[in-house]
């Protein structure tokens, strides 16, 4: 009888343990976040027929694609995009309102991730002291570590410091970015560590950038097959320094000296290749996806942005860059399959913003466009200030299409700040190329629910932003005559890919409007962890099993 009771209790104990094991959360071993800098949604469709079956097409066919995903704020810049993707909220909450912005308390322009309480690690180059301290909320990467009692690792990497720092969050185990010029290596700051890990030093010792600047950038396929882009030699593209025309092939060996040596790599597809190789090294040497906890790898491809800025949306260079990136994505997915396991990782791919087509090119096709000359506009503001207030000191700063008023001068002249702002708004609306002008008081007292003013409001941070906000006509910009840029709240800047892939993800797509802030809460729900602290996005339920 005692034996029967013993074995009965033993069986019940085994059943209970198995039930507890079965009840454990079935999380992926590794989450990979990929942000492709300046990737418009239509790059997926425009070049689709030329993509391989194993890169972007695999993500679309075997994953869940949001075909109508948009950034729901402006300005649409790199730092803001990465902060928004990873916090699940907009700049009015997370506090990253630009790459650079005017600091009203310091009376000077600041850079989003500068932190002069830190020191650079891996270089003696000045200006590389970085941290995420200006980001006011947590990220999905922070919440994953917090949910596991700070177990599990977060590693973030990019060519750009702001992309690596902001996507890694406040609790990153290591955020690494690339510096060019005469160094060509990955570095970090004392916010994360006091010295580079051996694997990063070993990777830097491979000197891969040297290989890339000793070759030509030629098209991956015959250039005559690149029928989705305009002629190679045109007036809408910017050439590298030392080139007579912005045309293939680009001889990097000859160009490197006049283009800051290894900085040249950033503006070629080879910058993306370096990121993939560095990501592979991080996975192997940090043992990501191999432990008892879920790890997170945040990757950002920045070369796509540098190339878009220089050559423009419709260039052969952009087309070649995405065809090459497709092959890199395919190789990376195969690496993940082999090293992590097909059912052990979850990945999302998106972009921090899109880009507009070169205004001069659009105008050549009888499409409206134009250039807002910053110096002329500042002169116009000076005339208004003198006309109404008899002072040229009313406006303290104009940047990022925002006017910051000089509060001391307004007080000295016994004026009302809100009256001054409204007078400026009423005059600026008459300036050629300006579509809308609103004051900070309007944004505080009105709830916009659609259009560019809703996006402007989501990008307005009451503590940090300016006093008067200007929205230009579509593709009326302050930029060079060649190449593409971004920053507006229009579809060409806001419509980006959002694709989920891997463990826990359904195959399929949605055509409904998906704001970019929905990525973080969707991943949080898949992982069954808390949302980032400022999250305003919603779960994309259709994407999850």
Plot region of 71 (φ>0 → left; ψ -120 to 50 → alpha; else → beta): beta
- Is the residue at 491 inside a domain? no
- Is the residue at 59 inside a domain? yes
Note whether 144 and 53 are same-domain residues.
yes
pLDDT digits (tens, 9 = 90+) for 159-211: 999 999 999 999 999 999 999 999 999 999 999 999 999 999 999 999 999 99
Note whether 317 and 387 are same-domain residues.
no
Note whether 149 and 265 are same-domain residues.
yes
Predicted confidence pLDDT, tens digits, the chain (545 residues): 444 434 443 444 444 434 444 446 899 999 999 999 999 999 999 999 999 999 999 999 999 999 999 999 999 999 999 999 999 999 999 999 999 999 999 999 999 999 999 999 999 988 899 999 999 999 999 999 999 999 999 999 999 999 999 999 999 999 999 999 999 999 999 999 999 999 999 999 999 999 999 999 999 999 999 999 999 999 999 999 999 999 999 999 999 999 999 999 999 999 999 999 999 999 999 999 999 999 999 999 999 999 999 999 999 999 999 999 999 999 999 999 999 999 999 999 999 999 999 999 999 999 998 888 888 999 999 999 999 999 999 999 999 999 999 999 999 999 999 999 999 999 999 999 999 999 999 999 999 999 999 999 999 999 999 999 999 999 887 878 899 999 999 999 999 999 999 999 999 999 999 999 999 999 999 999 999 999 999 999 999 99
Note whether 412 and 272 are same-domain residues.
no
Angle, CA 220 vertex, CA 498 and CA 352 arms, to 5°: 25
Burial 481-519 (b: 16+ CB within 10 A, else e): ebbbbbbbbbebbbbbbbbbbbbbbeeebbeeebbbbbb
Residue with structure tokens 């597809």?
A: 269
Note whether 118 and 53 are same-domain residues.
yes
- Owning domain of residue 101: 30-359+496-543
Note whether 377 and 423 are same-domain residues.
yes
Question: Residue 463's domain is classified under what CATH number?
Answer: 3.30.1360.150
Count of structural domains within the chain: 2
Write down the catalytic residue from 78, 84, 87, 536: 78
Note whether 144 and 259 are same-domain residues.
yes
Note whether 343 and 390 are same-domain residues.
no
Note whether 346 and 378 are same-domain residues.
no
Note whether 246 and 189 are same-domain residues.
yes
pLDDT digits (tens, 9 = 90+) for 25-75: 899 999 999 999 999 999 999 999 999 999 999 999 999 999 999 999 999
- Is the residue at 64 inside a domain? yes
Distance between CA atoms of residues 150 and 152, nearest Å: 7
Contacts with 307 (C-beta within 8 Å, 6 or more apart), sequence order: 267, 268, 269, 317, 318, 321
Contacts with 530 (C-beta within 8 Å, 6 or more apart), sequence order: 143, 146, 147, 524
- Is the residue at 6 inside a domain? no
- Is the residue at 484 inside a domain? no
Note whether 257 and 401 are same-domain residues.
no
Question: Residue 508's domain is classified under what CATH number?
Answer: 3.40.720.10
Note whether 343 and 379 are same-domain residues.
no
- Is the residue at 331 inside a domain? yes
> Which pair of structure tokens corresponds to residue 23?
């009840």
- Is the residue at 19 inside a domain? no
247 catalytic, yes or no? no
């Amino acid at each position: 009888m005692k034996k029967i009771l013993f074995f009965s209790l033993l069986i019940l104990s085994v059943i209970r343990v198995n039930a507890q094991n079965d009840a454990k959360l079935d999380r992926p071993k590794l989450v990979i976040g990929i942000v492709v800098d300046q990737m418009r949604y239509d790059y997926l469709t425009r070049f689709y027929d030329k993509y391989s079956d194993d890169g972007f097409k695999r993500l679309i066919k075997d994953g869940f694609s949001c075909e109508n995903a948009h950034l729901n704020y402006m300005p649409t810049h790199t730092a803001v995009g990465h902060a928004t993707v990873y916090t699940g909220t907009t700049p009015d909450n997370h506090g990253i309102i630009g790459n650079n912005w005017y600091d009203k308390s310091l009376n000077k322009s600041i850079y989003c991730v500068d932190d002069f309480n830190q020191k650079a690690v891996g270089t003696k180059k000045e200006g590389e002291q970085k941290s995420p301290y200006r980001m006011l909320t947590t990220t999905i990467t922070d919440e994953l570590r917090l949910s596991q009692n700070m177990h599990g690792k977060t590693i973030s990497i990019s060519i750009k410091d702001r992309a690596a720092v902001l996507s890694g969050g406040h609790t990153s185990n290591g955020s690494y970015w690339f510096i060019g010029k005469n160094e060509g290596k990955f570095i970090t700051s004392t916010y994360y560590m006091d010295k580079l890990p051996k694997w990063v030093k070993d990777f830097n010792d491979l000197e891969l950038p040297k290989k890339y600047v000793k070759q030509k950038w030629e098209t991956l396929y015959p250039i005559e097959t690149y029928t989705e882009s305009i002629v190679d030699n045109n007036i809408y593209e910017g050439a590298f320094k030392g080139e007579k025309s912005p045309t293939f092939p680009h001889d990097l060996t000859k160009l490197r000296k006049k283009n800051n040596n290894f900085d040249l790599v950033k503006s070629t597809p080879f910058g993306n290749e370096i990121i993939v190789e560095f990501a592979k090294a991080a996975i192997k040497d940090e043992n990501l996806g191999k432990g008892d906890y879920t790890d997170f790898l945040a990757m950002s491809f920045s070369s796509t942005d540098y190339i878009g800025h220089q050559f423009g949306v419709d260039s052969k260079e952009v087309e070649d860059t995405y065809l090459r990136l497709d092959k890199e994505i395919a190789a990376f997915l195969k690496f993940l399959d082999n090293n992590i396991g097909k059912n052990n990782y979850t990945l999302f791919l998106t972009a921090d913003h899109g880009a507009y087509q070169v205004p001069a090119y659009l105008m050549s096709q009888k499409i409206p466009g134009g250039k807002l000359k910053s110096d002329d506009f500042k002169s116009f503001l000076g005339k208004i200030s003198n006309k109404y207030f008899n002072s040229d000191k009313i406006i303290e700063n104009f940047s990022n299409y925002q006017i910051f008023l000089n509060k001391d001068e307004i007080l000295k002249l016994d004026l009302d700040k809100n009256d001054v702002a409204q007078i400026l708004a009423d005059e600026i609306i008459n300036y050629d190329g300006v579509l809308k002008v609103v004051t900070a008081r309007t944004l505080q007292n009105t709830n916009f629910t659609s259009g560019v003013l809703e996006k402007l409001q989501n990008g307005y941070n009451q503590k940090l932003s300016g006093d008067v906000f200007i929205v230009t006509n579509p593709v009326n910009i302050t930029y060079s005559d060649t190449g593409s840029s971004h920053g507006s709240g229009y579809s060409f800047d806001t419509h980006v890919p959002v694709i989920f892939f891997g463990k826990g993800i359904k195959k399929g797509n949605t055509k409904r409007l998906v704001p970019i802030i929905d990525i973080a809460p969707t991943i949080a729900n898949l992982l069954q962890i808390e949302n980032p602290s400022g999250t305003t996005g919603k779960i994309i339920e259709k994407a999850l099993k």
